[in-house]
Structure 1
Amino acid sequence: MMNPHMGSNFDDFLEEEGILVEVESIAWKRVIAFQITQLMEEQNLTKTDMAKKMNTSRAALDRLLDPTNTSATLNTLEQAAIVLGKRLRVELV
């Protein structure tokens, strides 16, 4: 019996399963949460300090740093980037 996925790439498989967008969202969020956490550590910023500088709550920052929570807004990401001395770049490809 021939494997229907033989020769296809992983994105094709995820698309066939109907989960490509969800998987990509989680992957991007994990990368962003990791980057923010790393920059906070490099700059010796606690979560409390970061939340204050972002003018947000500690709970909101915890949601941003949660790699499984994909509901971050562009505004929140932009605030985090500014506090960390970075620029947020979003692009459609």
Structure 2
Amino acid sequence: MSAKKVVNRARAAAPAKRVRRVVAARARGRVGSSFDDFLHETGDYEAVKSKAIKRVLAWQISEAMREGGLTKAEMAKRMSTSRSQLDRLLDPANDDVTLSTLARAAEALGREIRLELA
């Protein structure tokens, strides 16, 4: 993706003041070394990282359900929760998930959660 496209996307997603600062820095030849640097510069790194982690978790749970032949109704029953709660867990855009919900999903799938501070 070209730098111009990245800047245009950032303009749509980030407050104008931050974008102007990044664009001005790029115009002076101070281009970041990676997309992560760009996200740090705009202040969006943590939000993007959080959404990416949630998307991966939702995909992993969906894949484990598919591999195990579990329907959403069966999975919700194993988790002792509602189908709508499971739908929220599997929704990649919904990043408001608790550790206890993830733990119940992992247990229902015969898996475990691994977390670490880096």
Alpha-carbon separation, structure 2, partners of 1:58 and 1:64 = 10
Q: Counterpart of 1:4 in structure 2: which amino acid? A: R
After TM superposition, the structure 1 = structure 2 runs for residues 41-56 of structure 1, keeping only pairs within 5 Å, are 41-56=66-81
* Structure whose CA Rg is larger: 2
Aligned-pair identity (%): 52
RMSD across aligned positions (CA): 1.1
What's the offset of the Cα at 1:2?
Answer: 3.6
> Unaligned regions of 5+ residues in structure 1, if any?
none
Match of 1:88 in 2: 113
Aligned mate of 1:4, from 30, 54, 66: 30
Of 26, 32, 35, which aligns to 2:60? Answer: 35
Structure 1 residue aligned with 2:85:
60
Q: TM-score, length-normalised on structure 2?
A: 0.74
| Structure richer in helix, relative to its length | 2
Q: Which has the higher contact order (CA 8 A, sep 6+)?
A: 1
Deviations 1:12-49 (A, max 9, x none): 11011111011001100111000000000011100011
In the alignment, the residues of structure 2 paired with residue 24 and residue 40 of structure 1 have an alpha-carbon distance, to the nearest angstrom, of: 24
Please list every run of 5 or more consecutive structure 2 residues that lacks an aligned counterpart in the other structure: 1-26
Letter in 1 for 2:62: T
TM-score, length of structure 1 as denominator length:
0.93
Aligned pair count reads 92
Which aligned segments of 4 or more residues in structure 1 are displaced greater than 6 angstroms?
none
